[in-house]
């Protein structure tokens, strides 16, 4: 069973494949965290709580209750009663007081997994995939119940957590902090791994040992952000890709967040994750409910690689939904780097016409087709066709492209409005703003107040007219700025601090309506590239544009960092023009294809203007992608090289679930004189089976030899060269 209850110890044990998580009710109904790690057979681990040590429990030593509160490893710590470590939950009651005291009330265990109201979350495809534990905690004086929700997946080392707060009293309560998870570790000897970055250089891996005090990453930008991703791993100092214990945490949310580890006075570590409490407040009236987003917790006893593959499996099978969940995505060509704003319908058709001859399957029209938009200083919010550019209308162009045998996709930025737009002139109050203060421009645009249903309805109405007017089969949903002056013209004073979260809920609402009404449309999320590459977005869009930096060599780091938590099948990746528009680097066309093949694969260039040599290479490149896509999309991903540690080369593998075949990819970043071939050990194969590399079927080597001894990779002359090898089991 995934969840069991030991009545004598009052302890709960959640077992997820080879992992278990134990918590229990102790003195006076306090809920303690007991254990998280490798699966154990024991039903009672009470001794781990040290309840027989000073300061003992309040039942035997009430004069030192405050010391008890400051040492017990609380499962969901609250503020104001003597626990001075980081807390997960805080309120303001009707008297303005902040103290809160949650005690166990009841619990229930059931098969399957609940949905979270208005929020993305992982799910079960069948009830037997997981079991759920709900523990109801109560603070009687405050009139609050907090239901802690845990789900343990049967075949994955995954436990998810969230919390639902209900006002069961007769007075209003203000929530000032509602984190989704807290986990206590009985050690300070851990490394913290996070993903930081900026525009065009997202998800840089940073690893550092914990020290006394608090270490955190967060976002207060209204999105998960380029700067810090809502992912953290805590691991043993010795842990690497293939060995050591690791704990991964990922927030299924697309707005402000915090991920924090605190090493306490007793050399223990408390880890918390949730909605950032800075500038957060939520008024909970009698009978109302607040739902905190989900945290996914992954345990690995075999290094970072196993942790990542567990995240990948979970997200591919139990987070990504819809028609495109298990399908190869269309090979597309996007006109953005080909034309920017300087295009006409005829130019788009010319690109599509040439692309169709080469085997490209979809034409995507990016920014600039609407309003009177000739640059990025106007027309956001005016989602009607710019007739000056789109002579004959959108439908005429789409029909012509469809006649070539190609699908058609379209770019939107639905959350934004330009000051120079019909929408803003008609409804300036619809922008997020503080009354009496000027609005801050970024990319010469403002943010629409998505907490307001009338705003969402209006924008969606315009989008529907476009989508119903022509055969649109793909949408690129962009968001190109962060939130400032966060206040709403529609919310009362006592609810203004709710706008950060209400905005995200509004985005989810509109995305849910879009994917429900148009289930055949492939939705790709984007936010200035990768500023919202998070699990919340994956619930609505099966792929996310990984970065606006399309340079193949830069992408080695970006895609490596992204793969720490997110599956390669979700990474939007294109072959782009050279010299690259972000960094000016020229990279061989073959290498650009091999790197883009890790993700969804497509093209971002003017196929009518590239060299004949590169154009002629496209059909073979597409054939190669088609040959290996099922393996890349569904197989296990193994990181071998690491450009963050050695920028001379990179390598990775995809291995089928039955280990019958594997794809090895290698990039020589810098060529070196007078060097022998590089010896690289493969990963993930069956050690007892024999394999041959497809180009040399006469040479057969055991999986053990390929993994313990490795292969010799050489024969590449020059910088930025690549090769792929396909291994097949005999």
| Domain-embedded: residue 249 | yes
CATH assignment of the domain containing 219? 2.70.98.60
Percent pLDDT > 90 in the chain is: 99
Q: Determine the Cα–Cα distance for residues 456 and 461; give it in Å rounded to an integer.
A: 8
Q: DSSP H helical segments within 446-596, as ranges?
A: 453-469, 499-517, 535-538, 552-562, 589-596
How many Å is the maximal CA-CA distance in the chain?
A: 84
For every residue of 133-183, DSSP letters joined together read EEEEEEETTTTEEEEEEEEEESSSSEEEEEEEEEE-SSS-EEEEEEEEEEE
Residue 700 DSSP one-character state: E
pLDDT at 74 over 80: yes
Residues 6+ apart with CB under 8 A from 425: none
Which of these is catalytic: 93, 420, 548, 549? Answer: 548
pLDDT digits (tens, 9 = 90+) for 431-479: 999 999 999 999 999 999 999 999 999 999 999 999 999 999 999 999 9
Structure tokens at 174: 């203000």
Total tally of structural domains belonging to the chain: 2
What dihedral do alpha carbons 641, 642, 643, 644 form, nearest 10°? Answer: -170
Last residue of a domain, one of 260, 284, 318: 318
pLDDT digits (tens, 9 = 90+) for 207-245: 999 999 999 999 999 999 999 999 999 999 999 999 999
Range(s) of the domain holding residue 61? 3-318
| Domain-embedded: residue 361 | no
Residues 6+ apart with CB under 8 A from 86: 77, 182, 214, 260, 262, 270, 272
| Domain-embedded: residue 213 | yes
Structure tokens at 36: 């998280």
| Domain-embedded: residue 644 | no
If DSSP states are collapsed to H, E and C, what string results for 285-336?
CCCCEEECCEEEEEEECEHHHHHHHHHHHHHHHHCCCCCCCCCCCCCEEECH
pLDDT at 96 over 80: yes
**612 exposed, middle or buried (CB, 10 Å; 0-12, 13-18, 19+)?**
exposed
Q: Work out the average pLDDT over 128-153.
A: 98
Residues 6+ apart with CB under 8 A from 709: 679, 681
Q: What is the pLDDT, as a whole number, of residue 447?
A: 98
| Domain-embedded: residue 26 | yes
Helix (H) or strand (E) holding 394: helix 394-403
Q: What is the model's pTM? A: 0.98
Q: What is the pLDDT, as a whole number, of residue 666?
A: 98
| Domain-embedded: residue 377 | no
| Domain-embedded: residue 23 | yes
What dihedral do alpha carbons 62, 60, 29, 171 form, nearest 10°? Answer: -20
Active site residue 218: no
CATH assignment of the domain containing 702? 2.60.40.1180
For every residue of 350-374, DSSP letters joined together read HHHHHHHHHT--EEEE-S-SBTT-S
Rg (CA), the chain: 27
Answer yes or no: are the C-beta atoms of 16 and 37 closer than 8 Å.
Answer: no
| Domain-embedded: residue 238 | yes
Q: Determine the Cα–Cα distance for residues 154 and 158; give it in Å rounded to an integer.
A: 8
**65 exposed, middle or buried (CB, 10 Å; 0-12, 13-18, 19+)?**
middle
Which of these is catalytic: 366, 382, 449, 478? Answer: 478
Least confident range from 292-296, 494-498, 670-674: namely 670-674
pLDDT digits (tens, 9 = 90+) for 668-718: 999 999 999 999 999 999 999 999 999 999 999 999 999 999 999 999 999
Answer yes or no: are the C-beta atoms of 148 and 104 closer than 8 Å.
Answer: no
pLDDT digits (tens, 9 = 90+) for 366-403: 999 999 999 999 999 999 999 999 999 999 999 999 99
Looking at every residue in the chain, the average pLDDT score rounds to 97
Last residue of a domain, one of 318, 341, 368: 318
pLDDT at 1 over 80: no
Last residue of a domain, one of 318, 351, 371: 318
**588 exposed, middle or buried (CB, 10 Å; 0-12, 13-18, 19+)?**
middle
Q: Count Cα atoms within 13 angstroms, Cβ side, for 202.
A: 30
Active site residue 548: yes
pLDDT digits (tens, 9 = 90+) for 321-380: 999 999 999 999 999 999 999 999 999 999 999 999 999 999 999 999 999 999 999 999
């Amino acid at each position: 069973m995934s969840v069991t209850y030991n009545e004598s110890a009052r302890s709960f044990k959640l077992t997820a494949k080879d992992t278990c998580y134990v918590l229990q009710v102790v003195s006076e109904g306090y809920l303690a965290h007991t254990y998280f790690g490798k699966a154990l057979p024991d039903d009672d681990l009470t001794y781990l709580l040290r309840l027989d040590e000073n300061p003992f429990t309040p039942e035997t030593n009430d004069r030192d209750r405050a010391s008890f509160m400051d040492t017990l490893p609380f499962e969901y710590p609250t503020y104001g009663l003597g626990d001075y470590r980081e807390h997960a939950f805080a309120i303001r009651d009707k008297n303005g007081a902040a103290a809160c005291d949650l005690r166990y009330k009841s619990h229930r265990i059931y098969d399957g997994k609940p949905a979270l109201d208005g929020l993305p979350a992982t799910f079960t495809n069948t009830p037997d995939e997981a079991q759920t534990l709900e523990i109801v905690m109560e603070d009687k004086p405050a009139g609050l119940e907090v239901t802690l929700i845990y789900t343990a997946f049967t075949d994955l080392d995954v436990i998810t957590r969230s919390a639902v707060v209900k006002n069961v009293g007769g007075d209003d309560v203000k929530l000032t902090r509602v984190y989704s998870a807290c986990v206590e570790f009985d050690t300070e000897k851990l490394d913290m791994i996070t993903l930081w970055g900026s525009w065009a250089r997202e998800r840089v891996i940073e690893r550092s040992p914990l020290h006394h005090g608090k270490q955190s990453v967060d976002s207060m930008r209204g999105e998960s952000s380029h700067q810090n991703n809502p992912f953290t791993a805590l691991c043993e100092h010795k842990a690497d890709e293939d060995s050591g214990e690791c704990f991964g945490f990922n927030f299924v949310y697309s707005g402000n967040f915090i991920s924090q580890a605190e090493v306490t006075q007793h050399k223990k570590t408390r880890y918390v994750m949730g909605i950032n409490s800075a500038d957060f407040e939520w008024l909970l009236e009698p009978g109302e409910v607040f739902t905190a987003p989900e945290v996914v917790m992954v345990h690995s006893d075999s290094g970072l690689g196993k942790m990542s593959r567990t995240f990948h499996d979970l997200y591919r099978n139990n987070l990504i939904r819809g028609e495109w969940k298990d399908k190869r995505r269309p090979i597309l060509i996007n006109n953005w780097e080909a034309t920017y704003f300087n295009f006409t319908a005829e130019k788009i058709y010319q690109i599509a016409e040439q692309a169709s001859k080469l085997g490209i399957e979809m034409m995507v029209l990016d920014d600039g087709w609407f309003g009177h938009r000739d640059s990025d200083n106007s027309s956001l919010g005016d989602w009607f066709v710019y007739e000056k550019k789109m002579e004959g209308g959108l439908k005429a162009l789409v029909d012509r492209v469809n006649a070539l045998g190609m699908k058609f996709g379209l770019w939107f930025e639905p959350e934004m409005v330009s000051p120079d737009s019909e929408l803003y002139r008609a409804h300036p109050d619809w922008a997020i703003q503080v009354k009496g203060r000027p609005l801050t421009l970024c990319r010469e645009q403002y943010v629409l107040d998505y907490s307001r249903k009338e705003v969402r309805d209006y924008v969606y109405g315009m989008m529907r007219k476009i989508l119903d007017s022509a055969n649109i089969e793909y949408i690129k949903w962009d968001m190109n700025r962060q939130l400032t002056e966060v206040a709403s013209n529609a919310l009362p004073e006592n609810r203004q601090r709710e706008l950060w979260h209400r905005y995200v809920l509004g985005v989810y609402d509109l995305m849910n309506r879009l994917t429900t009404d148009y289930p055949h449309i492939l939705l790709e999320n984007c936010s200035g590239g990768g500023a919202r590459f998070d699990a919340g977005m994956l619930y609505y869009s099966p792929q996310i544009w990984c970065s606006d930096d399309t340079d193949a060599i830069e992408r080695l780091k970006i895609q490596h960092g992204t793969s720490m938590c997110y599956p390669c099948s979700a990474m939007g990746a294109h072959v782009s023009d050279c010299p690259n528009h972000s960094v000016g680097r020229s990279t061989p066309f073959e290498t650009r294809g091999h790197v883009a093949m890790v993700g969804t694969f497509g093209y971002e260039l003017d196929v009518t203007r590239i060299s004949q040599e590169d154009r002629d290479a496209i059909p073979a490149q597409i054939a190669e992608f088609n040959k290996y896509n099922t393996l890349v999309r569904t197989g296990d991903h193994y990181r071998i090289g690491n450009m963050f540690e050695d920028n001379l080369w990179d390598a990775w593998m995809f291995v089928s679930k039955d280990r019958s075949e594997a794809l090895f990819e290698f990039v020589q970043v810098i060529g070196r004189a007078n060097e022998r071939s590089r010896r690289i050990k493969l990963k993930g194969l069956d050690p007892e089976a024999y394999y041959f590399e497809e180009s040399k079927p006469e040479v057969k080597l055991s999986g053990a030899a390929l993994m313990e001894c490795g292969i010799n990779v050489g024969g590449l002359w020059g910088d930025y060269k690549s090769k792929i090898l396909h291994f097949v089991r005999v």
